[in-house]
Structure 1
């Protein structure tokens, strides 16, 4: 499971057009693969998120991209952070993730969530529905997808999905871990306790103990061994060899993508010592690991490697 994950959240880079885009993304994944990260993750969206840019900014379809990155990496697991359940039929999703596992030699991971980006749904014709609808759909989908990934032949006559004796052949190379993303204490963490190998949470650092306590309570009620679930915390950073370089690169990113300005205060920015100290505090809250993105300077050659070399010793001890 993920202990130190590198997420690629954006595909809008200075002086980089479509022809050169994949090479910039590939380089980030290769640096992650060779510097201590155990997972490379990309967002499952078709429009850029409002906190990272405009809907017109570049966004690559995640499973096509992950399959391509599988050919350029050797060690890291490959995952969405996280798959929007509303975008795919669950049987198709099971086949897609299985194909990723086969082409990567057993390195696929399923990250999944209920979906939330209403503009994207409305613009592209995906049914959005209510909050309750989306979580009902997620739970039905989990029953189908996990069954197919585990070699079962699930049958479900649900409100949202129907499958009958669903076959998944070829099977995955190995056991594909399941991550559920989100920090809702009543629904999301209950589903993580019931179905997942990993819970990836986004919240304030001061809220982490409460989220962990909620997950503990769900596990106790369901009879699930809490020790079977890895909890990772989603973060954003901007690292460079010196604090001045990190600030300069952050300034340049905000100038090019004004939407990043609102996220600036939440980014962990600075030289390796500063960044390491901040992540030590996060890990002291009780989470098992972190997922990290570099929206300001991940495209700068060497920055992902520097981040991995800085954080991996905190995770591996």
Structure 2
């Protein structure tokens, strides 16, 4: 294992007032998580589809000021919603505000309601993945030309599981890969990712494996660790933001040290 075990929590920016989200961020950092994520949508994904909801990147700027230790990011940013150069500059700015704690989580996009309501072209899964592949070199190039430059090489986490195209993009560009599905799917796609790495001349075994977890560590942690996962992310939704499962995972992480 080349990465330390880390625990994230995705605080869903839905069905809550912002004050409740702010309190949840404080509680999550105090609980000892390594990363606090939000998501990049314009409407709730669960519950009332027209319920309360807040935008991703303005929120990350606020979290950068509010927090002092945790890394922050989106799980994941939708590549379709912002010009790659603009997104690069937004990420660089949040990187500086946070003192070098931003992770750029990014994916091709999938939630059609966001596209329709905000006037983006939905296209096809293939066109959105192709756009992601074209955007990442532009993002990296903009960082190289920025003044001031980012405080560090901003880590890129890519979420997605397409075996032919998405995983090849992961092999080319990602520092971390967020997988979806059961552990058998993870093992199979992880091997495919390694094969893509060989094809593009990059050691993809060094790409951190990330998954969402909804069960206690006693039920699923061992098999996920055996499959190569080192980043485990729980989730909590508004308005109450129950972090009890998150605290179980933090305690499990600490027990391994």
Indicate whether the TM-score tops 0.5: yes
Closer, same or farther: CA 179–309 of 1 in aligned 2, 3 Å? closer
Give me the whole-angstrom Cα distance separating, in 1, the residues matched to 2:174 and 2:250: 29
> Offset of 1:304 from its aligned partner?
6.7
Moved more, 83-92 or 117-126: 117-126
Give me the whole-angstrom Cα distance separating, in 2, the residues matched to 1:53 and 1:32: 23
Give me the whole-angstrom Cα distance separating, in 2, the residues matched to 1:39 and 1:190: 25
What does residue 64 of structure 2 align with?
70
Paired residue total: 254
1:224-269 per-residue CA deviation (whole Å, 9 max, x = no partner) reads 1134310111233xxxxxxxxxxxxxxxxxxxxxxxxxxxxxxx2x
1:113-165 per-residue CA deviation (whole Å, 9 max, x = no partner) reads 1111112201220111122211121111111002222x1xxxxxxxxxxxxxx
Give me the whole-angstrom Cα distance separating, in 2, the residues matched to 1:32 and 1:308: 12
Give the counterpart of 2:100 among 106, 115, 124. 106
| TM-score, normalised via structure 2 length | 0.90
What does residue 257 of structure 1 align with?
none
What does residue 186 of structure 2 align with?
208
Residue 303 of structure 1 pairs with residue 232 of structure 2: no
Give me the whole-angstrom Cα distance separating, in 2, the residues matched to 1:53 and 1:205: 27
What does residue 27 of structure 2 align with?
31
What does residue 15 of structure 2 align with?
12
Give the counterpart of 2:169 among 182, 187, 191. 191
Give me the whole-angstrom Cα distance separating, in 1, the residues matched to 2:83 and 2:116: 18
> Offset of 1:33 from its aligned partner?
1.9
Secondary structure, counterpart of 1:71 in structure 2: helix
Q: 5+ residue gaps in structure 1?
A: 14-20, 152-166, 237-267, 269-273
> Offset of 1:48 from its aligned partner?
1.3
What does residue 6 of structure 2 align with?
3
Give me the whole-angstrom Cα distance separating, in 1, the residues matched to 2:240 and 2:154: 27
Conserved? CA contact 2:14–2:238, under 8 Å = no
The alignment yields a C-alpha RMSD, in angstroms, of 2.2
> Offset of 1:284 from its aligned partner?
2.7
Conserved? CA contact 1:81–1:181, under 8 Å = yes
1:161-214 per-residue CA deviation (whole Å, 9 max, x = no partner) reads xxxxxx422221122101110111111111110011110111122211101111
Closer, same or farther: CA 305–231 of 1 in aligned 2, 3 Å? closer
Give me the whole-angstrom Cα distance separating, in 2, the residues matched to 1:137 and 1:54: 31
Give me the whole-angstrom Cα distance separating, in 2, the residues matched to 1:48 and 1:225: 37
Q: Which has the larger radius of gyration?
A: 1
Give the counterpart of 1:89 among 80, 83, 92. 83
Conserved? CA contact 1:3–1:232, under 8 Å = no
Moved more, 192-201 or 168-177: 168-177
> Offset of 1:99 from its aligned partner?
0.7
1:5-39 per-residue CA deviation (whole Å, 9 max, x = no partner) reads 111124215xxxxxxx2222122222222333211
Give me the whole-angstrom Cα distance separating, in 2, the residues matched to 1:283 and 1:25: 30
Closer, same or farther: CA 57–215 of 1 in aligned 2, 3 Å? same
Higher relative CO (Cα under 8 Å, sequence separation at least 6) belongs to: 2
